[in-house]
Homo-oligomer: A and B are copies of this chain.
Amino acid sequence: MTTVEQEIYEPLNIETAIELSKNLQLFDHDDHLTSEEIGDGNLNLVFRVKNEHSGKSVIIKQALPYAKVVGSSWPLTLDRARIESESLKRTYQLVPKFTPKVYFSNTNLAVTVMDDLSDFTILRKGLIAGNIYPNLAKDIGHFLAHTLFFNSDFGLNQQEKKVQSSRFINPELCKITEDLVFTDPFYDHGTNNIDEDLKPFVSTMLWEDQSLKLEVATLKKAFLTKGETLVHGDLHTGSIFVREEDTVVIDPEFAFYGPMGFDIGAFIANIILNYLSQQVHLRNQFQRQEYQQYLLNIIDESWNAFSEEFTSLWNQYPQDVFMNIDGYLEQTLQEIFKDTIGFAGCKVIRRMIGLAGVEDVECISNQADRNKVKKAALTLGKKLIVERSQIATINELVKVVSEHA
């Protein structure tokens, strides 16, 4: 008989975070460590534990048993910490260059200990500041191709894929997306956050448009039922850390088996929102045109990098005998592209009127300017949803986006 001591969940503090790091032998016992809590406190505690002498540091992330949103708080499963750490470990197998290394995780404590990326910037802030990241598009395309392919029936043994999918059943966090991305913004719902001035526009543009709602219903159903691959589930520009030449994707707590296009669409949507916001941020016309062109190139290049790498993996590591049939790859990419555009449209809309805005747009202090950007985004988001079957190539998508600046 073995006696198993089961750890009881308790939120860490600055001291116990240091203690845990030492117990895990990530530092020597007599190292002098500092610890600070650097999370935003809405969903998780995030500690940086550091040996100031050697400069070595780690991040300890611990899920909180609730989510704080706009003043209120609701209970939220700690299981998301397990999902996050399992997703990080799986992703590290596939694309270590773009993933923080996990040193320790514990389901009972809802804790993940991982690489500190303190010399990285959150991509969203970098883009708002107008910075250029020369490898970003290529890196994200590579990340998407490898994670989406090797977790799918195309690149993973089809029986292992089923077993793996059972570890990523994520009802509570999927529900957040189902409600806040695919439902509430399309109704006059209490969770929305809309300037009074915008309401009539939103009402006509979204809430009264039954044909739009039918398309959103179709996309929501795909989110609910299309278990193609292990998606990150929340791949906006706040989930991407960048340095001049490096890209790391973090925070996969929304991970689940969903449609391939969902992650690509989330990324593109957030580039689009930055693109539209630069209409206000960059007053100098030359600078603006140049930076907006850079953002359009990110959309174009990330898709092309994804589809080229996906094609290469498809040809090199086929798990299904049908994968050498003429036209199957092209049909698959076309379907992913169509889903990508539709999901991007939903993501754009939800960020303009839903519970969670994006700093790119919300930081525009002039209300008229801000609402002008929001109207452009809502118009574009709707177009992406409704016309996703007509937009056949990434060039056409870029053209449609550029017409909405």
The residues of A with any CB-CB pair to B shorter than 8 Å are: 153, 158-160, 162-163, 165-166, 169-172, 174-175, 178, 183, 187, 210, 213-214, 216-218, 220-221, 224-228, 257, 320-323, 325-328, 331
Contact = CB atoms under 8 A, between A and B. Distances in A.
B226 A225 contact: yes
A171 B158 CA distance: 8
Given A213-B322, A322-B220, A331-B218, A159 B183 contact: no
Contacts of A170: 162
A166 B163 contact: no
B224 A225 contact: no
Given A162-B170, A220-B320, 10 more contacts: A153-B221, A159-B172, A160-B171, A187-B321, A210-B325, A210-B327, A214-B325, A217-B328, A220-B322, A227-B227
Nearest to A216: B322
Contact of A174 (B162, B174, B321): B162
Which secondary structure dominates chain A's binding surface? helix
Given A158-B224, A225-B227, A228-B225, A169 B175 contact: no
Given A321-B187, A325-B210, A325-B213, A224 B175 contact: no
A253 to B, nearest CB: 16
5 contacts: A159-B172, A159-B174, A213-B325, A214-B328, A217-B322
